[in-house]
């Protein structure tokens, strides 16, 4: 790829990212307006719908794969987030893997809409345990910190719910 083609590709990626961010902020403002009118039941409904959607999506992804390890989940879930601006590191943890995310574009969007964080949290962060279990019921998730809730990072520990060695076909 030539320098000009590379520069054009980078420019197009930046424009696409800016459009997505603007769309997300607009959607969050719309949800905030609905929340102002409907109150807290909207937050619960968003959480329920997002969890249902995550379970369905990740059950489908799991059905298409032969292996369902924690490492597989991390590759499928986290690796595509890097190009979208997420910054994180992974390291081994007892019976699993620890992921520490220090930059989350979703948390940045939530910070731009007053009162938007609880709504976006329900639509994104709160789905994490559901998608992990849908991918493999043996996978559990503990999260001690969340950028969306004002912490300095998101800290995830994916672990196997039992002491048996990982079964790639589980």
Query: Does a structural domain hold residue 80?
Result: yes
Residue 166 lies in a domain: no
Is the Cβ–Cβ distance between 105 and 85 less than 8 Å? yes
User: Does residue 45 sit within a domain?
Assistant: yes
Q: Is residue 165 part of a domain?
A: no
Task: Write the CB contacts of 5 (distance below 8 Å, at least 6 apart in sequence).
Answer: none
Spatial distance between the Cα atoms of 119 and 126, rounded to a whole number of angstroms:
10
Q: Does 167 fall in a domain?
A: no
In CATH, what number is assigned to the domain containing residue 79? Answer: 3.30.1380
Q: Is there a domain that residue 111 lies in?
A: yes
Shortest CA distance to 129 belongs to which of 43, 58, 69? 58
How would you write the pLDDT of the chain (170 residues) with one tens digit per residue? 788 887 877 777 777 777 777 767 777 777 788 778 888 888 888 889 999 999 999 999 999 999 999 999 999 999 999 998 999 999 999 889 999 999 999 999 999 888 889 988 988 999 999 999 999 999 999 998 999 999 999 999 999 998 554 444 44
Does 84 map to a domain? yes
In-domain check, residue 104? yes
| Distance between first and last Cα of the chain | 42
What is the tally of structural domains in the chain?
Answer: 1
Per-residue pLDDT reduced to its tens digit, 51-70: 999 999 999 999 999 999 99
156 lies in which domain range?
3-160
- Cα angle for residues 46, 50, 55 (degrees, 5° grid): 150
| pLDDT tens-digit readout, 104-127 | 999 999 998 888 899 889 889 999
């Amino acid at each position: 790829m030539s320098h000009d083609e590379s520069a054009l590709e980078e420019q197009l990626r930046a424009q696409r990212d800016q459009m997505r961010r603007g769309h997300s902020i607009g959607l969050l403002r719309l949800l905030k307006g609905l929340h102002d009118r409907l109150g807290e039941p909207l937050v619960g409904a968003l959480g329920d719908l997002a969890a249902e959607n995550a379970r369905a999506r990740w059950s489908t992804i799991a059905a298409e794969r032969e292996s369902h390890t924690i490492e597989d989940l991390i590759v499928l879930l986290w690796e595509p987030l890097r190009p979208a601006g997420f910054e994180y590191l992974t390291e081994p943890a007892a019976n699993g893997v620890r992921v520490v995310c220090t930059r989350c574009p979703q948390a940045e969007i939530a910070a731009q809409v007053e009162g938007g964080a609880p709504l976006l949290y329900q639509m994104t962060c709160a789905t994490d345990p559901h998608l992990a279990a849908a991918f493999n019921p043996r996978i559990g998730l503990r999260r001690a910190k969340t950028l969306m809730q004002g912490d300095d990072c998101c800290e995830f520990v994916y672990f196997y719910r039992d002491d048996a060695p990982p079964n790639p076909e589980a």
